[in-house]
Amino acid sequence: MAVTIITGGTDCGKTSWCQEVFLKKHLDCAGLLLLKRMTGARRIGYDAHNIGSGESVPFARFDSCLSADWVEAERVGLFSISLEGKQKANEWLRQSLVHRTILIDEMGPLEIRGGGIADAARQVLQHREEKDLYIVVRQVRLASICSCFGITDYCILSI
């Protein structure tokens, strides 16, 4: 079965579209959403959100927004990635393998270099023939993600 890649530019509504479709319409859907974390009107980073359980955990924060108890696993661009957030996000993706429909939001530079959710995403991709698999990727990263993760059979859904 082909992978469906949901793509578009930065802040074009990819995750919002996924929230609308996967949280409200798919009963047997699992996986991960990376939701913007705001303080008032200011974005401070992203939280990893488990689609199946509704649980959320801090995943990425701008340097200026780190709490005193923040434990960094790695860095990407302007973001510090939480050790707990990374561990939970990978765990949730592995647990999603029992479901028919799986969403991975979002794969990017962190995963291209083998970090973030790369390990769990590879495990999910190994079972893509049995699943309805959706992956969110920014348009500018599409070729790199496909090459890095061996995704050759896919269809595009542009947002």
Lowest model confidence (mean pLDDT) among 1-5, 52-56, 93-97: 1-5
What percent of the chain has a predicted confidence (pLDDT) above 70? 97
User: What's the pTM value of the predicted model, to 2 decimals?
Assistant: 0.93
pLDDT of residue 96: 95
Phi-psi region of 40 (alpha: psi -120 to 50; beta: other; left: phi over 0): left
Domain range for residue 93? 3-158
CA atoms within 13 A on the CB side of 31: 31
What's the CATH number where 51 sits? 3.40.50.300
Number of structural domains, the chain? 1
Distance CA 158, CA 145 (A): 16
pLDDT of residue 94: 97
Residue count (the chain): 159
CA atoms within 13 A on the CB side of 141: 21
pLDDT tens-digit profile of 105-126? 999 999 999 999 999 999 999 9
pLDDT tens-digit profile of 1-48? 679 999 999 999 999 999 988 877 766 789 999 999 999 999 999 999
